Structures are given as structure tokens and as C-alpha cells.
Structure 1
Amino acid sequence: MEETREISALFHLIDDPDIEVYSTVSDRILSLGSNIIPNLEHLWENTPEEAVQERIELLIHRLQYCELSQDFARWKALPEPDLLAGALLVSKFRYPDLQVSQVLQDIEKMRRNIWLELNNYLTPLEQTNVLTTILYNYYHLKGTDINYSEPNDFLLNNVLESKKGNAISNGILYLVLCDLLDIPIRAIPIPRQHILAYFDVEQGQWDALPNNPSNRISFFIDPMSGQVYSQKDVETYFRRISVPPTAHFFRPLTNIRIIQILLEEFARCFDNDSQRYKYEELMQLSQLLGE
């Protein structure tokens, strides 16, 4: 953005010790939108005072967050919000300048390697074994316990780079590949777990699932390792946690709901005094998707 007299005057007042003055200045800067971010970055580079740099950083973050909120609103409004696009929006909260093209290339390489091993004669279990073998053995994807001191474990771009993620992020990668390969695997809301299920359903017929779709599930997959579980295994789990296996737990989660869960869990990485504003912003994004 061209630096006008007004912008120059605003920048001179960023270090004003009067909170009311600074509040007025910051509100005006924010009203100018994300186009002013390069100007703020230039100002940051030429500002020696650490306290002023922190103010500039916060302004840049707030501008990026405003733009990200708009992106989430547009994503939610799509007829069929894409899971990959939603996951990358979450990544942009931490990495605003994320190069999405590299992520898409990595995903496409994975998809092609799996597709080359698939054919129409494979059983559902054989299909799943192909995907699992390539993902966890060939690419050496590892699953880690959910650790809120490791925020990168929640982000798809980092999972692809480090080949390490938790059950939520690994599950999203698994689901993205299934969607690209027309494999009918979906996430389901089994309590205290992040589990995937292979549904006996044709593409385009998801809306025709019965009220209790558990009998349409062939088997379950743990995205931490790709391990397959049977109906009996899941029934045993429900007995162990003393929760009745009602129909709700076997209905596929929507892509919007999966991204909500990701946002809420990712937010817990910032549930501390120093980064509380990030926690609140992520929870606001989740609420935006639920409105």
C-alpha cells in the first residue's frame, strides 16, 4: 500500500504510551485492511524498540486473522466445503504465508502412488490395506499422542513435512486421500477417539444412510497407525467405557464438523496467559463454522 501522510502519521503514533491514543491508532490501521501488512512489516524491520515491534506484530496478526475469518466464512458457505481446503485454512492461522502449492503437490504424489496400486477387483479391506501400507510403510507416517505443547502436530502442512501427526491430523490426511480416490471412508464421533470407518455405500448416496448406519460399516481404522478394528472390537470398547453405542456415534462427521474439532483441539495449545488471545481466536473460528 502506498504510504500516505495519514499512514505515516499513524505509524509515528504506534509507540504512544497513552493506551487510548494507541487504541484509536490501531483501530484505524486495522480498518485499512490487509493491504497495509507490507508497510507494517517494513516498519517492524526499521524499529529497534522491542515493545514497539510487539505492537506491530500484534497488528499484523489481527489483520491476518480478520482475513482468515473471512476465508473461513466463504469456505463454510460453499455447497460442499472441501476438507483439504479447510485444513489448510487452519494451518494459515500459524503460517499466514503458507505455500499451498507445495502441499497440493505432496498430496497429489501420495494419491498417485496409492491409485497405481488400486483396481476394481480389490475388496474393501484390500483397498484400505493398500492405502495404509503406502501411507505408513512407504511414507513412514507416524502417529503421536495428542500433545498440546506441540501445535505443529495438528497442522496438515507439518504432517506432510515431518511425516508425524496426531490422530486428528493423520486422520484428516487419510480422509483427504480417501476422498480423492473415491474410497468410502469417513470419520465418526466415537467418544474419546478419533476413528475412521469404511462404509458400504456408493458415492453420492451418503444422504441415503439409515438412521442407524452402524450396520453399513464394514470395519474401523485407527489413523494413528492404520490398524483395522472390527465391529466386535468397537462393541467391546463401548462396554469398557460404559457408554451405550447409540446411532449418533456411527454417523459420518461432516467436513465442517471435522474442521471445528481441529480448531478446538488446536486452540488448547494456546490455553495459557501469554497466548490466550490465540486460544480465543481459534474458538471464535470454530463458533463461526457452527453458526
Structure 2
Amino acid sequence: MDTLNTDTTQLAALIRLVEDPDPNVFGHVKSRLIEMGKDVVTSLENTIEIRQQQFAFDLDHEDRLRDIIKEIYFNQVKIELEQWRKSSTRDLLKGALIVSKFQYPDVDEKRVEQELESIKQKVWLEINEDNTAFEIVKIFNHVLFDICGFTSSKNNFYAAENSYINEVITSRKGNPLSLSILYSVIAQKLQIPIYGVNLPNHFVLGFVDEFQTLKMLGMSDDRNILFYINPFSKGRIFDHNEIENYLRSLNLPLQKNYFEPCSNTEILKRMLTNLTFAYNKEGQQEKVKSINELQLILDS
């Protein structure tokens, strides 16, 4: 017998057994379907659709199938996040897209990448090699906030969708972290040294002094940053004195890590922390528990 036909027959039998009232049978069937992974999702979704069209659906069966689909997708997110953690590059955009799959498993990664490429091209067309760092940031700000229309989501600041990069690109609204990710990913595509700075209760960007200009001028204090950028305020530029004043207002020490670029892993951890807060605020404890599982992967 053809292997493909055998697999299809076995899958159909398993899907029928999802209705079995015996919890032990259902438990084994559920585990097997989850183990089979995302390749069976289409068949599960088709079963739901066909039975609904035939008005022959049992709601408990539908709920069981949807729960299995959800677990399959969540397992895939965990697998991809673990692979990302173990990778040598830990690409920021890739990491952000993996987190987006938690809420949007069918996220169109290619569309996101194409949109970012389009924005990058707009910036590239405006920049020339004689531009200073300040001029480059002004061009970035003009393209992102004036031409492309990105803005801060102040009216719905804590909403979970503000943390998902695909939604931010669609809505053109984001929180400090997601707008900073967008900004820095595009900058790094253009080989411009703009990286995230993980401040308490806020997230900003730093323009790295890669040519050590400050050191040559005798102005360096080991903080290798020319200046800072706040994408949540349309790319406002500020210096380390403002960070010092901000930290003092919170009665926090002037730790070196508050002034320097953080790792992409720290950025994803912050994103998951934001999502935990958002889902707690919405009372979605099941999602909070799942986000905690993702945090453990990054902590390992």
C-alpha cells in the first residue's frame, strides 16, 4: 500500500477518535496528533470546516480539535525559539517574528520582510556618505514617522498587539520596544550602528560611536554611545545626562548596562515581559502561563 495513503488513513482515523468519550483514548490520540506536528494542522482545520458546513458538528469535538491545533502551534513556537537561542546570530527580526507566531501562527514573514526592505530603501535613497550621525537619524525619523506614518500607541499603550512586529507594521502603531526594534532592524540592514538600550520602564536606542570619535576628542567615559534616540517620541535625540536624571528620578543606581546596547536575547526577554503584563491586565492567565514557558527557554 502507498505510504502516503497509509499516513492519510491513519490521520483520518486519529481525527475521528478525537470524539471518543474515553479520556484515556482521547489522551493518547491528542498526544499522537501533537507529536505529528504542524503538518496535520490543515487536516484538522479542514475537518472543522467540513463538519460546520454539514451542520454535523459537535462543539466538544470542535473545542478538542482547536485545542490540539493551538498546542501544535505553541510547540512549534517553542521549537523555533529554542533554535533561535542556540543560533550563533540570534537575529533580532527573526526572534521578533517567532514571538509573533505565539498569537499569529500564520504570520506572513515574507510580507514583513518585504515591508521592512521597502522602508530600508526609502531611507537608503535619502542618505549619503557625507551625512553625520545626527543627519542620518533625522532622515530615519522623517521616513519612519512622517512618510511611513509610524507612531506611538499612547491610547492603547499596554495592548498585547503593540508587541507583535507584524501587527505594528500593519497598524503603524507600537510601544517603545516594538518601535525600537523596527528602527534598529532597518538601521542594521543599512549597516548603521543603532542598537537597543534596555532602560528600566522604558526602551530606547543608542547610536554607537564605532569610530571612537568621543575618545579622540577626550570626551569618552567608556560609554561608547554618541547619543540616544527615543522612537516612542518620534526619534527624539538626547544624551546620557537625561538617562542619569531619569535613573535618579526612579532612585536607581547609574549602572553601566543602563547606558549601553543590550543583547537581542535581552530584547526578546523584555518583549515577553511586556506580553506577560498585557495578558495579565486582560485576565488571560492561560496565555500568561504559556509566555512564562517561552521565558524559561530564553533563560536556559
- In the superposition, the TM-score normalised over structure 2's length comes to 0.86
1:161 equivalent to 2:165? Answer no
- What is the aligned counterpart of 2:59 among 30, 50, 60? 50
| Aligned counterparts, 1:95-114, within 5 A | 95-114=104-123
Q: CA RMSD in A?
A: 2.3
- What is the aligned counterpart of 2:160 among 135, 151, 155? 151
Q: The residue matched to 1:116 in structure 2 has which SS?
A: helix
User: In the TM superposition, what is the alpha-carbon distance from 1:274 to its structure 2 partner?
Assistant: 7.2
C-alpha contact 1:145 1:167 (8 A) present in aligned 2: no
- What is the aligned counterpart of 1:34 among 35, 38, 44? 38
1:221 equivalent to 2:229? Answer yes
C-alpha contact 2:240 2:259 (8 A) present in aligned 1: no
CA distance 1:104–1:29, shift in 2 (3 Å): same
Unaligned ranges ≥5, structure 2: 52-56, 213-220
Q: State the alpha-carbon separation in 1 of the partners of residues 200 and 120 from structure 2.
A: 30
- What is the aligned counterpart of 2:29 among 20, 25, 44? 25
For residues 161-207 of structure 1, what are the alpha-carbon distances to aligned partners after superposition, in whole Å with 9 as ceiling and x for unaligned? 1111111111110110111112211111221111111121259xxxx
* Counterpart position of 1:69: 78
Q: State the alpha-carbon separation in 2 of the partners of residues 21 and 149 from structure 1.
A: 42
Q: State the alpha-carbon separation in 2 of the partners of residues 113 and 131 from structure 1.
A: 9
C-alpha contact 2:225 2:260 (8 A) present in aligned 1: no
| Aligned-partner residue type, residue 231 of structure 2 | P
* Counterpart position of 1:12: 16
C-alpha contact 1:144 1:165 (8 A) present in aligned 2: yes
* Counterpart position of 1:206: none
Q: The residue matched to 2:231 in structure 1 has which SS?
A: coil
For residues 56-76 of structure 1, what are the alpha-carbon distances to aligned partners after superposition, in whole Å with 9 as ceiling and x for unaligned? 111011111112221112222
| Aligned-partner residue type, residue 33 of structure 2 | I
State the aligned residue count: 282
Identity of aligned residues (%): 28
For residues 203-255 of structure 1, what are the alpha-carbon distances to aligned partners after superposition, in whole Å with 9 as ceiling and x for unaligned? 9xxxxxxxx742x2221111212111222222221221121212121231111
C-alpha contact 1:148 1:266 (8 A) present in aligned 2: no
Unaligned ranges ≥5, structure 1: 204-211
C-alpha contact 2:180 2:205 (8 A) present in aligned 1: yes
1:237 equivalent to 2:241? Answer no
User: In the TM superposition, what is the alpha-carbon distance from 1:260 to its structure 2 partner?
Assistant: 1.8
1:268 equivalent to 2:272? Answer no
* Counterpart position of 1:258: 267
CA distance 1:191–1:274, shift in 2 (3 Å): closer
1:124 equivalent to 2:133? Answer yes
Q: State the alpha-carbon separation in 2 of the partners of residues 168 and 20 from structure 1.
A: 45
C-alpha contact 1:148 1:269 (8 A) present in aligned 2: no
Q: State the alpha-carbon separation in 2 of the partners of residues 236 and 273 from structure 1.
A: 33
Q: State the alpha-carbon separation in 2 of the partners of residues 272 and 31 from structure 1.
A: 33
Q: State the alpha-carbon separation in 1 of the partners of residues 281 and 13 from structure 2.
A: 35
C-alpha contact 1:184 1:202 (8 A) present in aligned 2: no
Q: State the alpha-carbon separation in 1 of the partners of residues 200 and 143 from structure 2.
A: 28
1:92 equivalent to 2:101? Answer yes
1:248 equivalent to 2:257? Answer yes
Q: Report which stretch shifted further, 81-90 or 275-284.
A: 275-284
CA distance 1:261–1:273, shift in 2 (3 Å): closer
C-alpha contact 1:222 1:228 (8 A) present in aligned 2: yes
- What is the aligned counterpart of 1:196 among 202, 205, 209? 205
Q: State the alpha-carbon separation in 2 of the partners of residues 272 and 259 from structure 1.
A: 20
C-alpha contact 1:146 1:167 (8 A) present in aligned 2: no
Q: State the alpha-carbon separation in 2 of the partners of residues 168 and 52 from structure 1.
A: 40
CA distance 1:185–1:149, shift in 2 (3 Å): closer
Q: State the alpha-carbon separation in 1 of the partners of residues 157 and 48 from structure 2.
A: 30
- In the superposition, the TM-score normalised over structure 1's length comes to 0.88
CA distance 1:281–1:105, shift in 2 (3 Å): same
